[in-house]
A = this chain, B = another copy of it.
Amino acid sequence: MTAPWITYRPELRVLDCTIRDGGLINDHHFSDEFVRAAYHACLEAGVDYMELGYKASKQVFQRDRFGAWKFCDEDDVRRVVGDNPTSLKLAAMIDAGKTDWRTDVLPKDRSVFDMMRVAFYVHQTAEACDMIKDAADKGYEVSANLMAVSRATETEIAQALELVAETPTQTVVVVDSFGSLYAEQVERLVKQYLGYVKERGKEVGIHAHNNQQLAFANTIEAIIHGANRVDATMGGLGRGAGNCPMELLLGFLRNPKFKIRPIFRFLQDYIEPLRNEVEWGPLVQYNITGQLNLHPRSAIQARGNPETRLRYVEFYDRILNEEC
């Protein structure tokens, strides 16, 4: 009898994407102090990977409109983490279609990053495979994050997985971008992903959003069915409804290498003050877009306007009329 709630798998790895996913709320304008505190919290908590941001194209995104964590230039990152002489591995996300990856992803021996996470929609799988190979050739560990999987068909997913399984990526992540999946759908997807990649020695990951207050539950479900790479953020910080909260995840995981106390300190000292500046969490509009398997953009818009942020019925009616 192995009960996940009380046992642990040593091979399970936790990735903190507080700064990367949280950056989507504030255009990546985190202070060095904030990022440094998050880094130390992850380190002390025994988290395995920390994702700091994107390596976004400076052709597409204006350098002065965004904070440093949109681009993750080596100098900016090293100002905070030095040469990272620790066991905490650092990751950056590179988006298909929005990254000058040939030039901006440096050879690993010139970078403080350990992992590149390639984010792509199913129609971008070809570019994603090129990106994965490029990053692997440059010496990085690679993760393939197929986004918005709740909007893709099983055939589309199968076709993408077939191609991705041939690449040198170490991990393929089930990404519930819209926070619309229920546990039984997560189970099905994790099993489908494992079917394509397990025999090649690759791992399956889970990245859940909290629109229906299911991010933590779905992360547990994925773990139960074999996912060994799990994403979370401190305080659930993240765009819209936010992510699986790290403080809940570490309370569930029984590997004694994980310490939850440093997370509570970060929540107290950094996340709570941030709540006065930006809003995230499973608020009603996000419940609605999650239930309807929609991108949260209209919910983000409604929440951002003081006139409309609490007009739930109007929002519901409009979504039903315009988007369903």
Contacts and interface: CB of A to CB of B under 8 A. Distances in A.
Interface residues of A, number: 40
A248 B311 contact: no
A221 interface: yes
Interface string A307-324: 000111100110000000
A81 interface: no
B183 A183 contact: yes
Interface stretch (A10-18, A100-108, A211-219): A211-219
A265 B316 CA distance: 10
Interface string A169-185: 00000000000001111
B214 A183 contact: no
B220 A182 contact: yes
Given A267-B284, A268-B312, A184 B3 contact: yes
A5 B264 contact: no
A10 B100 CA distance: 54
B287 A251 contact: yes
A37 to B, nearest CB: 13
A257 interface: no
Interface string A242-278: 0001011001100000001100110110001000000
B216 A213 contact: yes
Contacts of A245: 213, 287
B313 A5 contact: no
B316 A261 contact: yes
A32 to B, nearest CB: 23
A221 B264 contact: no
A226 interface: no
A300 interface: no
Contacts of A248: 212-213, 287, 291
A139 interface: no
Contact of A5 (B5, B182, B213, B221): B182
Contact of A183 (B220, B310, B311): B220
A312 B260 CA distance: 11
A302 interface: no
Nearest to A252: B182
A183 B216 CA distance: 11
A25 interface: no
A213 B217 contact: yes
A35 interface: no
A72 to B, nearest CB: 29
B264 A312 contact: yes
B265 A313 contact: yes
26 contacts: A3-B184, A5-B184, A182-B220, A183-B217, A183-B221, A184-B224, A212-B216, A212-B248, A212-B252, A213-B215, A213-B216, A213-B245, A214-B217, A216-B217, A217-B217, A251-B288, A251-B291, A260-B316, A261-B313, A261-B317, A264-B288, A264-B312, A267-B284, A267-B312, A268-B311, A268-B313
